[in-house]
């Protein structure tokens, strides 16, 4: 099928591959996990049988095996029209999605300094797929790109100027593809155009970020130089006092250890001492586990504070939007967050809030709420497929 689009999303030890048809319908998806490990495995969604992988398979080997499997099952016939790749950090170089050539690869490599855990593996995926489909267009779609419209007052840290000019230290923002999708879908649900729609978009998954979108453009966001800043996340701390690093050093904790602690051992996991999984935390809290309830409280309070902060960038608010695994699926987290927002006049409708979840979008606010509240399932893969198709057709 010449018109199909493949979408590749490589994480540090996992990858997702999706196949879209010419009508932007997802016709297949696959997942590989524990890559570069002896127990690496892969499977096609909806099928419990594993796809055979070489022992300790790399990202390249897993992609090759999954593309072959799509072919064997006649899901992919011929070559795809284009391949879209998720790339985490585009730095200041990439303000929008681009077609990949050798120079693009080098520029993505240069941005790897800013995202050492993500960009190299994103690039490995691009190189593997370019080797498999050398004469097809490949598009790189950046998590940071949608935030290129942040005004300088929002992206600059109050640091000496050379930190920015020489080292590129500024706020970049992430989850841009998801926030962009929220801007577009919220406008549709509100019966408006994106260019006249202003929302606050809360993406709450394992990583969490919130963005102020003014007339369709990102104007403030909670993640910064790296995806560690801002909200409480699954294992990431979000905001802490920058003085913490020096204080930890006096306790014998090195910068590397502190980095690992803030990224891997903090957030919901750190507070609860049990899990980074919000669903499990809610169950634990229901059984009287106080640290889990505290983790939920801190998560929701920080989020509500950030909703307030985001209003500083907006002249109007058409909707507060929840998305991501937690935002889409947890009426409780939405309720516990909104309960801090009484002064803004935001209220949920108990029934609507309870009934909306993954696969269903819609309003969850009460008729008395001063601002509408929406739940919208995110679809970053669709945006990447559409960007790849647009660039390939241009």
Q: Give the residue numbers marked as catalytic.
A: 143
Q: What are phi and psi of 30, to 5 degrees?
A: -145, 160
Cβ burial of 128 (10 Å; 0-12, 13-18, 19+) is buried
Torsion-angle region of 175 (φ positive above 0: left; ψ -120 to 50: alpha; else: beta): left
- In contact, 133 and 79? CB cutoff 8 Å: yes
Q: Identify which of residues 278 and 374 has a Cβ nearer to ligand ADP in the complex.
A: 278
DSSP 165-223: HTT--S---S-HHHHHHHHHHHHHHHTS-GGG--EEEEEESSSEEEEEEETTEEEEES-
Helix (H, G, I), strand (E, B) or coil at 111: helix
Q: What is the four-CA torsion angle of 118, 119, 120, 122, rounded to 10 degrees? A: 90
For residue 377, the minimal CB distance to ligand ADP (Å) is 10
Which residues, in sequence order, are CB contacts of 290 under 8 Å at separation 6+? Answer: none
- In Å, what is the CA distance from 169 to each residue of 91, 172, 175? 10, 9, 19
Q: What are phi and psi of 362, to 5 degrees?
A: 155, 180
For residue 206, the minimal CB distance to ligand ADP (Å) is 4
Q: Which residue is nearest to ligand ADP (CB)?
A: 325
The verdict on whether residue 265 carries a ligand-binding annotation is no
For residue 9, the minimal CB distance to ligand ADP (Å) is 10
Q: Which residues bind ligand ADP (CB under 6 A)?
A: 205-207, 234, 277-279, 282, 324-326, 329-330
The verdict on whether residue 203 carries a ligand-binding annotation is yes
Return the closest-CA partner of residue 331 out of 293, 358, 304, 294: 358
For residue 308, the minimal CB distance to ligand ADP (Å) is 23
The verdict on whether residue 294 carries a ligand-binding annotation is no
Q: Identify which of residues 220 and 328 has a Cβ nearer to ligand ADP in the complex.
A: 328
- In contact, 335 and 364? CB cutoff 8 Å: no
The verdict on whether residue 23 carries a ligand-binding annotation is no
Helix (H, G, I), strand (E, B) or coil at 289: coil
Q: Identify which of residues 93 and 275 has a Cβ nearer to ligand ADP in the complex.
A: 275
The verdict on whether residue 325 carries a ligand-binding annotation is yes
- Establish how many alpha carbons lie within 13 A of residue 285's alpha carbon, considering only the half-sphere containing its beta carbon: 19
Cα–Cα distance, 208 to 94 (Å, whole number) = 22
Q: Identify which of residues 244 and 282 has a Cβ nearer to ligand ADP in the complex.
A: 282
The verdict on whether residue 86 carries a ligand-binding annotation is yes
The verdict on whether residue 380 carries a ligand-binding annotation is yes
For residue 325, the minimal CB distance to ligand ADP (Å) is 2
For residue 104, the minimal CB distance to ligand ADP (Å) is 26
Residue the block writes with tokens 């937690």: 326
Q: Identify which of residues 197 and 337 has a Cβ nearer to ligand ADP in the complex.
A: 337
**Helix intervals (H) in 40-86:** 59-72
Cα–Cα distance, 89 to 249 (Å, whole number) = 29
Q: Identify which of residues 33 and 277 has a Cβ nearer to ligand ADP in the complex.
A: 277
The verdict on whether residue 289 carries a ligand-binding annotation is no
Helix (H, G, I), strand (E, B) or coil at 3: coil
- Point out the annotated binding site for ATP: 16, 203-207, 277-279, 325-329
> Annotated binding site for Mg(2+): which residue ranges?
9, 380
* Binding-site annotation: residue ranges: 9, 16, 86, 203-207, 277-279, 325-329, 380
Binding residues for substrate: 86
């Amino acid at each position: 099928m010449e018109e199909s689009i493949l979408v590749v999303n490589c994480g540090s030890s996992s990858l997702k591959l999706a196949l879209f048809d010419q009508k932007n319908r997802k016709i297949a998806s696959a997942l590989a996990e524990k890559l570069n490990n002896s127990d690496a495995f892969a499977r096609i969604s909806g099928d419990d049988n594993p796809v055979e992988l070489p022992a300790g398979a790399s990202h390249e080997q897993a992609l090759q095996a999954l593309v072959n499997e799509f072919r064997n099952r006649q899901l992919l016939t011929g070559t795809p029209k284009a391949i879209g790749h998720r790339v985490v950090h585009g730095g200041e170089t990439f303000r929008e999605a681009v077609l990949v050539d050798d120079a693009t690869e080098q520029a993505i490599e240069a941005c790897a300094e800013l995202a050492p855990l993500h960009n190299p593996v994103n690039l490995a995926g691009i190189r593997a797929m370019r080797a498999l489909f050398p004469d097809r267009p490949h598009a790189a779609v950046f998590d940071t790109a949608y935030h290129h419209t942040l005004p300088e007052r929002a992206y600059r840290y109050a640091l000496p100027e050379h930190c920015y000019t020489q080292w590129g230290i500024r706020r970049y923002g992430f989850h841009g593809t998801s926030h962009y999708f929220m801007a577009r879908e919220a406008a549709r649900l509100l019966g408006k155009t994106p260019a006249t729609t202003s929302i606050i978009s809360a993406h709450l998954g394992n990583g969490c970020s919130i963005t102020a979108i003014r007339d369709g453009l990102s104007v403030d966001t909670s993640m910064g130089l790296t995806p560690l800043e801002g909200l409480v996340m699954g294992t990431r701390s979000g905001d802490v006092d920058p003085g913490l690093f020096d204080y930890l050093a006096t306790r014998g904790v090195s910068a590397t250890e502190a980095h690992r602690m803030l990224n891997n051992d903090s957030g919901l996991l750190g507070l609860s001492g049990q899990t980074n999984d919000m669903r499990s935390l809610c169950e634990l809290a229901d059984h009287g586990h106080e640290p889990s309830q505290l983790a939920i409280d801190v998560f929701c309070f920080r989020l509500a504070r950030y909703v307030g902060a985001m209003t500083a960038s907006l002249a109007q608010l058409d909707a507060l939007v929840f998305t991501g695994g937690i935002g889409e699926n947890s009426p409780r987290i939405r309720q516990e967050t909104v309960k801090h927002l009484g002064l803004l006049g935001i209220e949920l409708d108990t029934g609507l809030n309870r009934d909306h979840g993954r696969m269903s979008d819609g309003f969850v606010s009460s008729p008395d709420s001063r601002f509408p509240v929406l739940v919208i399932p995110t679809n970053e893969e669709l945006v990447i497929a559409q960007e790849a198709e647009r660039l390939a057709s241009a």
